[in-house]
A = this chain, B = another copy of it.
Amino acid sequence: MLSPEILADPVELTRVLVDVESVSGDEAELADQVETALRRAAHLSVERHGNVVLASTHTDRPQRVILAGHLDTVPIADNLPSTVEGDVIHGCGTADMKSGVALALNLAATVARPRYDVTYLFYDCEEVEAERNGLNRLAKTHPEKLAADFAILLEPTYGLVEAGCQGTMRAVVTAVGRRAHSARSWLGVNAIHAAGAILNTLEAYEPRTVTIDGCTYREGLNAVRIAGGVAGNVIPDECRIEINYRFAPDRTEAEAAAHVRELFADFAVEITDSAPAAMPGLASAIAKEFLDVVGQPPQAKLGWTDVARFAALGVPALNFGPGDPNLAHKRDERVEIPKIRAGAEVLRRWLTA
C-alpha cells in the first residue's frame, strides 16, 4: 500500500516498490498500486492504458516536461525481498529502476504546482522486446500524450546527466560452405573455418569515438552469438554470426547498416533488429536549467534507452537516476540511499524553483 507517508519519502518508497515483484509482463499489481496512489492526488489527472499509468498536472504553464520510468524488472535472481545494509538497499530493481520511479512518484504526489506542467509516465515491458514496450505502444497509439518540451527518463545514471543515446543494430553475417562426410573433408568446404575471416574483421575493428554537445560516444561492434554445425561427422555448410553494432548519434540507422554491410561485403548480411541513436539534445533552455541544478557536466549515454523514443517524437530527453548503471541486471543489484536523497533533491529544486 502506497500510503501518503510512504509517498512522501523516496527512500521508503523505493523499498516498497522493489518489494512488489514486477518482472516484465507481470506489472499489473504494481501498476494498480501506482494508479491508486496517483488518483488520490487532486492536482493530477490520471489515465491508464494497459499497464501504462499517466498522471498530468494542468496548471497552464507555457511548457510541459515528462518524468518517465518503467515499472518492470529483469527476472528475480534470489534477490527479493529487498534488504537494507547500512546506507544501501539491495534487491532486484533497486537500481534499474525503481529508485528512479520512486523519485517521480514522490514528486507527483507532493508537488501540486510545479514550475512546468508535468506528465508523469510509468510504463511496462521495457526489459523485453520493443513490440511489448509500454512507452513504444503509447507512442504509436497516443503520440499526443507524449507531446512535451523536455523529458527526463529516470534510468540509472548514478546521479549524472546522461544525454542522448547510441543506436543499436543487430545483423546476422553468414558464412557458407558445402557439406561432406568429415572422413573425406576435402570433398566439402567448411563454413565454420570460413567464418574465421568474419571474426578476424571483428577482432581488428577499431570503433569510433564521437563527441557531440560535450558528450563522448564510444562505439562498439561485437559478435554476440555464433552457431554452426550439422553433426559430429559432417563438414558444416553454414555458420551464422550475430553481431551487435552500437553507433553514435551522428549516424542514422541507414548509415549504420551500410557500414556493417561494407565491413562484411564478402558475406551475406541480414539486418535483424535496429533502433536509432538519439542526439543529446542539451541545447534547450529547460535542459540547461536542469544541468545547472545538477551541477555536473553531462555524459554520453552508451546503452540504448527509451530517450531515443522521445527524440524520435521531437522531444529532447536525457537520463538521470540514482542507480549505478553498472549494477543493472546483476544478482547483487543495489542502490545507495544518499543517491536517492540527492536525486530527489535535484528534481525538487528544479521543478519548484
- A interface list, Cβ under 8 A from B: 166, 168, 170, 181-186, 190, 192-196, 199-200, 202-203, 207, 218, 220, 222-236, 239, 241-242, 244, 246, 273, 302-304, 329
Contact status of A302 and B184, CB under 8 A, knowing A196-B203, A202-B193: yes
Contact status of A202 and B195, CB under 8 A, knowing A182-B244, A183-B304, A232-B242: no
Select A199's contact among B166, B186, B193, beta carbons within 8 Å: B193
Select A228's contact among B170, B200, B226, B232, beta carbons within 8 Å: B226
Which residue of chain B has the shortest Cβ distance to A239 in the bound complex?
A: B226
Q: Which residues of B contact A227 (CB under 8 A)?
A: 226-227, 229
Select A225's contact among B220, B232, B303, B304, beta carbons within 8 Å: B232
> Quick check: A229 and B225 within 8 Å, CB to CB?
yes
Contact status of A182 and B220, CB under 8 A, knowing A193-B203, A196-B203, A202-B196: yes
Distance in Å from the Cβ of A166 to the closest Cβ of chain B?
Answer: 6
Select A181's contact among B183, B190, B231, B303, beta carbons within 8 Å: B303
Q: Which residues of B contact A207 (CB under 8 A)?
A: 185
Q: Which residues of B contact A241 (CB under 8 A)?
A: 192
Select A193's contact among B168, B222, B232, B242, beta carbons within 8 Å: B222
Contact status of A166 and B183, CB under 8 A, knowing A225-B228, A229-B226: yes
Q: Which residues of B contact A246 (CB under 8 A)?
A: 182-183, 185
User: In the complex, A43 Cα to B329 Cα: how many Å?
Assistant: 77
Distance in Å from the Cβ of A260 to the closest Cβ of chain B?
Answer: 14
Q: Which residues of B contact A199 (CB under 8 A)?
A: 192-193, 195-196, 199
> Quick check: B196 and A183 within 8 Å, CB to CB?
no
Q: Which residues of B contact A234 (CB under 8 A)?
A: 224
Between A and B, 5 residue pairs with Cβ closer than 8 Å are A182-B246, A183-B304, A192-B225, A196-B200, A223-B236
Which residue of chain B has the shortest Cβ distance to A196 in the bound complex?
A: B199
> Quick check: A192 and B223 within 8 Å, CB to CB?
yes
Which of A227, A230, A273: most chain B Cβ within 10 A? A227
Which residue of chain B has the shortest Cβ distance to A272 in the bound complex?
A: B232
